[in-house]
Amino acid sequence: MMSEQEALKCSNARNRGGTQRVEGKLRASVEKGDYYEAHQMYRTLFFSHDAGAFIAFRMFLWHCAADLSMLVLESLEKSEAKVEDEDLEHLAKLFSLMDPNSPERVAFVSRALKWSTGGSGKLGAPKLHQLLAVTLWKEQNYSESRYHFLHSSDGEGCAQMLVEYSAQRGFRSEVDMFVAQAVLQFLCLKNKNSASVVFSTYTQKHPSIEKDPPFVQPLLNFIWFLLLAVDGGKLTVFTVLCEQYQPSLKRDPMYNEYLDRIGQLFFGVPPKQSSSYGGLLGNLLNSLMGSGEGEDEEGEEAQEHGSPIELD
């Protein structure tokens, strides 16, 4: 009878052989320009019911994740295959296996997001952003996770991540600021639905916040009234609201900048002739909000402008 240790050695040897075959076939397909074959092969491996082949594939990913991820992405780019949810899930899985600190991971994300929208220049498919956000959340990379949640349609997931972020990294006095920033940024992206969901979920689930309005924290009451005002669309209500809550809004200099944009998008406020902000602050706003006008659909069309950035 073969001992357990000997059996493990044999299994590892078979898996190493499998990883070499996987790498060789995929690389050969890409190098000879047969991107359809490469695309089909990696899909077959992901869906394989052959446990040995899948283990070999995963072992190869752990050792050469960055290299293989780029090969898989190149096969997708050049195969002109239709973007499917399964492909987005595969790309997110490859992302999760890469070294979080590797520069290749940054390049991979940029190319994957571009491919997910057909190279149209949009910020990326909301589904892929959501999958990336969840992976980064598991890694406790909360700021990067929040960025990707903002460009997804998952307000509930974003709220749950923010509750954890607040508990792990924030001060008790800042519990209201975590969700206020997210709501204002969702509104700047013209995504009213996610703004409402992130607010209601966060206030319901955060252990330091009352479950229903009115809240102890004035900033939370402002956000609650703001969401109601956005639905009503009355400029006078918006103006009075911003004036009454100025003490709370002065806690973060970005709040009034966000509200200027929200006023333009939802209340017909004309754009300022000249921006009062510049440099890094201006770049952040332009990247987050986009510079185009006339988007009619919430969320999706607002993502056509700008480029991915890290939001503090």
Q: End-to-end CA distance of the chain: give it in Å, rounded.
A: 60
Average pLDDT over every residue of 256-264: 96
**What are the distances in angstroms from CA 241 to CA 168, 213, 270?**
32, 16, 18
pLDDT (0 to 100) of residue 68: 74
pLDDT band at 307 (very low <50, low <70, confident <90, very high): very low
CA nearest to 182, candidates 311, 286, 291: 311
What's the chain's length in residues?
312
Assess whether pLDDT exceeds 90 at residue 274: no
What is d(CA 303, CA 128) in angstroms, rounded to the nearest whole number?
13
Predicted TM-score of the model (pTM): 0.76
Q: Determine which of 80-84, 117-121, 280-284 has the lowest per-residue pLDDT on average.
A: 280-284
What is d(CA 48, CA 36) in angstroms, rounded to the nearest whole number?
18
Q: Residue 195 in contact with residue 176, Cβ under 8 Å?
A: no
**What are the distances in angstroms from CA 312 to CA 202, 254, 285?**
19, 11, 12
Distance of CA 217 to the CA centre of its chain: 28
Buried/exposed code over 199-224 (b: 16+ C-beta within 10 A; e: otherwise):
bbbbbeebeebeeeeebebbbbbbbb
CA nearest to 177, candidates 229, 246, 249, 258: 249
The whole-chain average pLDDT of the chain stands at: 79
* 85-138 per-position pLDDT tens digit: 999 998 998 899 888 888 889 999 999 999 998 765 578 999 999 999 999 999
Query: How crowded is residue 46: how many other Cβ atoms within 10 Å of its Cβ?
Result: 16
pLDDT (0 to 100) of residue 299: 42
